[in-house]
A and B are shown apart, each in its own frame.
Chain A
Amino acid sequence: MDGEVGTVPGGEAAAADAQEDAQENARAAARSAAVRDGVGVGLAVGLSGLAFGAAAVTAGLSVAQSLVLSLLAFTGASQFALIGVIGGGGGLVAGSLGAILLGGRNALYGLRLARTLDVRGWRRLLTAQVVIDETLAVATAQPGRAAARAGFVATAIPLYLTWNLCTWLGAAGAARLGDPEAVGLDVLGPAVFLALLWPRLTAGRTEMRVAAGAAVIAIGATPLLPTGVPVMLAAAAALPALVTRGEGR
């Protein structure tokens, strides 16, 4: 909260000091609250790396491939999308393109966060890797820039470590398991998407319309087109947002 202090009447330096102390305390409290939020989200979501690792091996990736995908791509929805296409026996080109398209939202997050984070040079190259759903959510929920930066970092580090460790554990565990479908691991991919989608889906009517259109396009195109292509095609359901004038919101 870097607001104005207001005009302090001359001679009341003590009052001004007290006010400054109070503001400093409030800023410190906001920062530590942001760190608590961030670590909590980072650990909880990172644990779902178990689900990714297990699902990746179920889809036919090796343990090493699962881990490299988590380390380098590090954006859950895209990773699940790629292994979903691979598991369905679809084309790798369509699978990769769909996954990358899905990662397009991270570019928007970067736009939103660029001014807040204000990183340059090699720090910017490093920071870019952790600009994802969860870090954006925590950073933008904080009051003020210092708390937002603290929340971003506090989410990013535990999330990166836990996500990759859990991917490895999940992949290695599933590789040893007999039939992954028997323990219901095939439902984890769509369940993760559903959970990520839920807050947006319940946000408004436009979202519901887009979602319904996307589901119809994707299912209708599935028997006709190579696996992975129907999902990319479903992005067309978002096109009306480009032409309609902003109603509400």
Chain B
Amino acid sequence: MSVWIAILATAAGCYALKLAGLVAPQRVLADPRVRRFTDVVPVALLTALVAVQAVADGRALEVDGARLAGLGAAVAALVLRAPFLVVLAAAAGVTAGLRFAGA
């Protein structure tokens, strides 16, 4: 049941933020420091998510070779400017392939 509450709370919070941007006074963006901060916050959060999901299982740090190789394949695909879905397919394909091969 509490997973449902987390889902609804997340949805409500995300919607409130989307709406806040549309109704907020435009002068909030006038301060260049605010603009820069809000530019880089997503970079920090997304990197943290990639890092934690790459090398952690719950609170334990673990190195999963197949998963890291899959992320490596995603990086290679991004460097080659592959489309979004190709990047995902490369990551899952490499991870699944290595696990199937018993790595």
Contact = CB atoms under 8 A, between A and B. Distances in A.
Interface residues of A, number: 105
Contacts of B19: 110, 124-125, 128
Nearest to A134: B84
A51 to B, nearest CB: 6
Given A48-B85, A214-B43, A238-B43, A114 B22 contact: yes
B10 A69 contact: yes
A105 B57 CA distance: 27
A108 B6 contact: no
B75 A194 contact: yes
Interface in B29-58: 29, 32-33, 36-58
Interface in B64-103: 66-67, 70-71, 74-75, 78, 83-85, 87-88, 91-97, 99-100
Given A194-B71, A194-B74, A82 B99 contact: no
Given A181-B99, A246-B36, A234 B48 contact: yes
21 contacts: A45-B84, A48-B85, A51-B92, A65-B3, A68-B7, A69-B10, A81-B45, A103-B13, A104-B17, A104-B41, A105-B41, A105-B42, A110-B23, A184-B66, A197-B47, A200-B46, A210-B40, A214-B48, A234-B45, A235-B44, A242-B33
